[in-house]
């Protein structure tokens, strides 16, 4: 009986932990039905958990606006071999991804560096 209670408690605890990790869905924040491409100058690259991000200054029709480019956790990116050291503030990069429901935000699917390298997280 004690083993059964311990098993039940462990299962319930793991079930709650799963829900805590899934704190939000990308489809709630980003429009997965389409992709956009933006090009700009990298002003910030932040590598952290739970979400790494870039900030880009994008100039359109003579007006410069800041965009937020979101991606996965730095631990996940490192394990996938994503070359974080390849990004430097001041670089001109191109980003393709799902547009955010918030103005000027995008979920990264691919970036093209100034040297032509295509990188996917």
Q: Tens of pLDDT along 64-100?
A: 999 999 999 999 999 999 999 999 999 999 999 999 9
**80 secondary structure, DSSP code:** T
Q: Delimit the domains of the chain by residue range.
A: 25-119
Cα R_g (the chain), whole angstroms: 19
Percent of the chain with pLDDT over 70: 80
* Beta-bridge partners for 97: 36, 108
Question: What backbone phi and psi angles, to 5 degrees, belong to 120?
Answer: -125, 135
CATH number of 25-119: 2.40.50.1010
pLDDT, tens digit (0-9, with 9 covering 90-100), for 100-116:
999 999 999 999 999 99
Q: Quote the pTM value.
A: 0.76
Q: What is the DSSP code (8-state) at residue 100?
A: B
């Amino acid at each position: 009986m004690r083993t059964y209670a311990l098993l039940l408690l462990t299962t319930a605890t793991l079930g709650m932990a799963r829900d805590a990790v899934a704190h939000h869905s990308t489809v709630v924040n980003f429009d997965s039905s389409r992709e956009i491409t933006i090009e700009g100058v990298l002003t910030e690259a932040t590598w952290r958990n739970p979400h790494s991000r870039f900030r880009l200054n994008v100039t359109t029709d003579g007006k410069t606006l800041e965009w937020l480019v979101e991606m996965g956790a730095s631990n996940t990116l490192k394990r996938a071999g994503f070359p974080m050291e390849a990004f430097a503030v001041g670089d001109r990069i191109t980003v393709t991804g799902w547009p955010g429901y918030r103005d000027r935000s995008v979920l990264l699917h691919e970036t093209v560096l100034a040297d032509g390298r295509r990188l996917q997280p």
